[in-house]
Amino acid sequence: MTNVSRETFGGSMGKIFSFFNQKGGVGKTTSVINIATVIANLGKKVLLIDLDSQGNATSGLGIEKNENESTAYQLLVENTDPKTIIKKTTIENLWAIPSNAHLAGAEMHLISQEKREFVLREQLEKISVEFDYIFLDCPPSLGLISINALTSSSYVVIPLQCEYYALEGLGQLLNTYQLVKKNLSSNLELGGVILTMADFRTNLTQQVIEEVRNYFKDKAFQTVIPRSVKLSEAPSFGKPAVLYDPHNRGAQAYVELGREFLSRFGSDEDRQNLSRQETVANLDTQTTTAQNSEPAPAGEQAQTTPSNT
């Protein structure tokens, strides 16, 4: 895929991403939390906005869902200054606007507002220049909050579970994307498709991966996220999986996905830095392999050689 920097569309809009799928349980929140963490660890300033009343992204970052504090509800309904809502997380370079159950009533209030589809965009224009990336964790629905997220973004990222039923409803999702692009936000582009919850032991997973890649071509990210118990455990500890268990294969896949994400949407300098890091990592691996393959001194060999008796 052609690398796309955030300057492509001009202004501040090119760095705002909606992670969106109207079907729940596809790894959307897990993806946005972990990609945000990886990119923040690479030195980028990231703001994650939880737009789901379940508040899973909020708790997944270790933020308590206190019903009395300012959240995305105040951002959308009460026009509260976003700078007063942003919370610093325990992760360097990562900030969040939390959510809680109050957000469930936001759409009812938004219906009567003027320019109701652009409320979030106007709010984000106040703060977008302060961050390298803004990630929007959309609710699993095609409602007004999701529409606000899409009109605020230049890219929509679709997490897709590697199962047959995950493909159902994809047409409706893409139709919504096309309608928003045509009628509300001509700059909106499909940023990519993330394949999640892959069980590589099954033929179905391989078939879904092949079908998605045939349809979306280079829009589908190369990194595929496997099924992993640790990915499911991490939110209960208030940590992204990449920090909860960095050696887990699911966490390592998200590290690769985060780097792929930055390579796709970052600047030329970002890609050069990633390339240098990969070169250093490869050299370290080769050095370690060479050291491990060197024959031990004769004295050490004698000590480690098992006795024939």
Which band of pLDDT confidence, cut at 50, 70 and 90, is reported for residue 8?
A: very low
The C-alpha atoms of residue 192 and residue 2 are separated, in whole angstroms, by 12
Task: Output the average pLDDT for the chain.
Answer: 88
Q: Is residue 300 part of a domain?
A: no
Max distance between CA atoms of the chain, in angstroms, equals 89
Q: Do residues 105 and 72 lie in contact, with contact meaning Cβ atoms separated by under 8 Å? A: no
User: What is the predicted pLDDT for the residue at 140?
Assistant: 92
88-109: pLDDT as tens digits: 999 999 999 999 999 999 989 9
Of 172 and 190, the one with more pLDDT: 190
Q: Is residue 262 part of a domain?
A: yes
Q: Is residue 299 part of a domain?
A: no
- Residue 68 pLDDT greater than 80, yes or no: no
Alpha-carbon separation of residue 41 from 6, 61, 94, 124 (angstroms): 19, 14, 9, 23
Task: Give how many domains the chain has, as a whole number.
Answer: 1
Alpha-carbon separation of residue 53 from 1, 87, 137 (angstroms): 34, 17, 11
Q: Do residues 270 and 262 lie in contact, with contact meaning Cβ atoms separated by under 8 Å? A: yes
Q: Is residue 239 part of a domain?
A: yes
Q: Is residue 303 part of a domain?
A: no
In the chain, the percentage of residues whose pLDDT exceeds 70 is 86
> Backbone phi, then psi, for 88, in 5-degree steps?
-80, 130
Q: Is residue 117 part of a domain?
A: yes
Alpha-carbon separation of residue 170 from 108, 142, 160, 175, 274 (angstroms): 26, 12, 9, 8, 33
Q: Is residue 302 part of a domain?
A: no
Q: What's 23's domain CATH number?
A: 3.40.50.300
- Residue 306 pLDDT greater than 80, yes or no: no
Q: Is residue 123 part of a domain?
A: yes
Q: Do residues 149 and 63 lie in contact, with contact meaning Cβ atoms separated by under 8 Å? A: no
User: What is the predicted pLDDT for the residue at 5?
Assistant: 45
Given strand 16-19, what is the order of strands in its sheet?
Answer: 87-88, 94-97, 46-50, 133-137, 16-19, 155-161, 189-196
Q: Do residues 75 and 123 lie in contact, with contact meaning Cβ atoms separated by under 8 Å? A: yes
- pTM for the whole structure: 0.87
Determine the structural domain holding residue 271 and report its residue range: 10-279
1-10, 69-78, 132-141, 287-296: least confident range: 1-10
User: What is the predicted pLDDT for the residue at 214?
Assistant: 94
